[in-house]
Chains A and B, each alone.
Chain A
Amino acid sequence: MSERRCELPTSLMSFVLGASSIAFALARGVKRVVGKWRGPDLRRRLLGSIGRAVVRAKDNTDSRLSGEPDFDTPAPKVPTPRWRGYLSGVLIAAACTALAATMSIWFAPTNLAMVYLLGVVLAATQVGRNAAIAASVVGTLAFDFFFIPPQYSFAISDTQYLITAIVLLTVGLVISSLASGLRLQAHAAMFRERHTAALYAMAGELATASSLDDIATSSLSHLGRIFDASGLILLKRPDGSMRSFGTDTLPAAEAIYLPLNGTLGKVGVLVIHGNRGPALVCEQQRLLEAFANQIAVAVERDELRRAAHDSAYAAQEERLRSSLLSSISHDLRTPLAVIGGSASTLLQGNSQLAEGTPRQFVQTIHEEAQRMTHMVNNILDMTRLQSGPVQLDLQSYDLEEIVGAVLERLKDRFGQRVVSINIPHDLPMLHVDGVLFEKVLLNVLENAAKYTPPHSHIGIVASLRERQIEVQVTDDGPGIPKASEHMVFAKFYRTHAQGDVKGTGLGLAICSAIIEAHGGRIWAGNRPEGGAIFSLVLPLKAVRGERPERPVT
């Protein structure tokens, strides 16, 4: 915590400065003001109000964080109305006259002028310029009237008193103008200090802002507090259109528009409208520009950060894409090479081919063509699912019906495998895209057929749980290798347990994409008794989970 030493001056003229420094220190939130009082006690008593201010400052600042600007302290006082200034000047002069009258018993009239000077200083520092002027003029007149012989007359008999009166008036007026100048300067310095602090606070907040919304919110709240104004930030979008933050009810005609100048050009416009009118003093205008620059830098930094993030993302996508491409091209080239090789051998019509070889070649061509078909279909499905938001044709389906259709299509693949189905008759209808959901079951069941030996048992079980329909496909095959339960849904992932199983590694990724598009979940695991289990849950349709009502016939 910083400790500032403010040398409190002892000379009478510098007292004004001292008072300003304390006010300054107060606004700045200085923890401790250390003053040196060398003068006699009387002076201290005279300046009592300032002494109390120092004590107050100590009390307040100790409980406050260092350097934290306090915007709750009232803004510098609005100058007292002119007539009140004059009135207090007159009153001070009257008080001085009363004091001088009691002192006139012991002192010569020339020395009594000093009492009036003191009054003028008091008026200048405590009230203002007008009070000081009034105090000097009225004081001089009263001095002349009451103390300069002939008393109770404005006439001056002795020329030496004429000099005293003129000096009194002149010094009074000079003090008034000097004091008021100092007050103004102190005011301005205080303003600058407050503004620097505000700027610093906002810069600090903007440095940690993580999004455009944060930047807008914090800068607008700072602007609002400091300028007592509502603001609006308009930012340029990459496509040239504008995006606005903040209030949209600014009366446009009275607002101030400031360009937000970043290092690479204008990033937007700051619109600000003072709640007490559009006018801003010159000092505020400069501050506002500083704010605008800060905001512009923050916005620009956000844009750059985003651009960096985007390019990193794009690079990652690119890496993924190229690995997919190499995987796909390998998977497609292999069957093509087999087909091409077999066909060209057959075309040559080599008579040396062993008996039955041509038939084998044709068989191979047929199988590889089927494999390619399967692969291309999967790749097309995946591409379609990833090319944008999936358009679901949601309708009510009987799970039993879709299972039946899938089993019909997989009849040949299943061969000797035994399939047991357990679907409760009162299971609500599924609310799904029938074609896509069929694809999910097809892929999961095909997977089961692919990774199990010929006489395995495959089970399909459905149940209703907590407004969700759960479907499980189980088998008693070798199961999924440990720790790769999550991996099986990744694109192009294939378990290596079954080396000769052919596939694209896309089937389950497609399932996962489809189920997620339905707002459901699919996962895989191993059964304790051995074999794999694939589970998927689908939310029940919110409104119409029951069977549709029978139309009247």
Chain B
Amino acid sequence: MSAERPTVIVIEDELQLRRVLRTTLETNGFHCIESESASRGLLDAKALRPDLILVDLGLPDLDGLQVIQAVRLWSTVPIIVLTARSEEPTKIAALDAGADDYVTKPFTVGELLARLRAALRRGTDCNPSGVFEIDTLRVDLVHRQVLINGQEVHLTPIEYRLLTVLVKNAGRVVTYNHLLRHVWGPGKLDQHDFVRTYIADLRRKLEADPARPAFLLTEVGVGYRLLASMERAAN
């Protein structure tokens, strides 16, 4: 992460929410730019090259999904979506369109900041050593080694590929379709059962208590999230 304050563009039409977000971000070491509409936000994004974009899905002029797609045409900047509760299909659509993560309204400050940090880390942290570590798990991508408490764990090729996709997206929600596409290829899309079965197996090998996973978390109906660090967002 750069020493400068990271710039975040907030595309949100509700003035009150924008004000709260601005205060929260400014007091937590971010530089915040407010955009009250999608078109304005897209202009700002092009002109100011932010480190992160926070976009509401329900905007008056353009759909939030269209904003994501427009940004993804020219930039890989992390995008976090603000969404109303219980809209799993919308969340999945946003993630599949290229958003990095989502925060469900109403959200807590802790939750938002954790998501922001995880997304920024992914943007900057290229991890030159190729080693990922969390809790008791250590994944060495270069030597293709998976260790739990220093003990090597044997994974099947599919399980290992699943784990690498999750590691590369650590901290983010990875949708079922994303996993299917990157592990099995485009032919198996929508066969979410495969993913759930293999994740269950993977969990039994990696987690001490698979019913209460410590780092390989489930976002029911959306996908999975491998925590990037043990600092958790409070619900």
Contact = CB atoms under 8 A, between A and B. Distances in A.
B30 interface: no
A434 B211 contact: no
A435 B200 contact: no
Nearest to A553: B158
Contacts of A435: 86, 88, 220-221
A453 interface: no
A438 B221 contact: yes
A interface bracket (residues with beta carbon within 8 Å of B): 35 or more
B88 A551 contact: no
B60 interface: no
B235 A423 contact: no
A407 B191 CA distance: 26
Given A421-B212, A423-B211, A548-B193, A405 B220 contact: yes
Interface stretch (A288-296, A395-403, A480-488, A501-509): A395-403
Given A395-B192, A403-B211, A421-B212, A408 B86 contact: no
Q: Which of B157, B158, B210 has the most CB of A within 10 A?
A: B210
Interface of B: 85-86, 88, 106, 156-158, 184, 188, 191-194, 196-197, 199-200, 203, 209-213, 217-221, 234-235
B184 A551 contact: yes
A269 B209 CA distance: 72
Contacts of B192: 395
24 contacts: A369-B106, A384-B86, A400-B210, A401-B218, A403-B211, A404-B211, A404-B212, A404-B213, A404-B218, A405-B218, A405-B220, A408-B212, A408-B213, A410-B235, A411-B235, A412-B235, A423-B211, A429-B193, A429-B196, A429-B197, A434-B221, A547-B197, A548-B194, A551-B191
A553 B211 contact: no
Interface of A: 369, 373, 377, 380-381, 384, 393, 395-398, 400-405, 407-412, 419, 421, 423, 429, 433-435, 437-438, 547-548, 550-551, 553
A543 to B, nearest CB: 13
A435 B200 CA distance: 18
Nearest to A366: B108
A211 to B, nearest CB: 41
Q: Which of A404, A423, A437 has the most CB of B within 10 A?
A: A404
Nearest to A409: B235
A438 B218 CA distance: 11
Contacts of A404: 210-213, 217-218
Contacts of B85: 377, 380
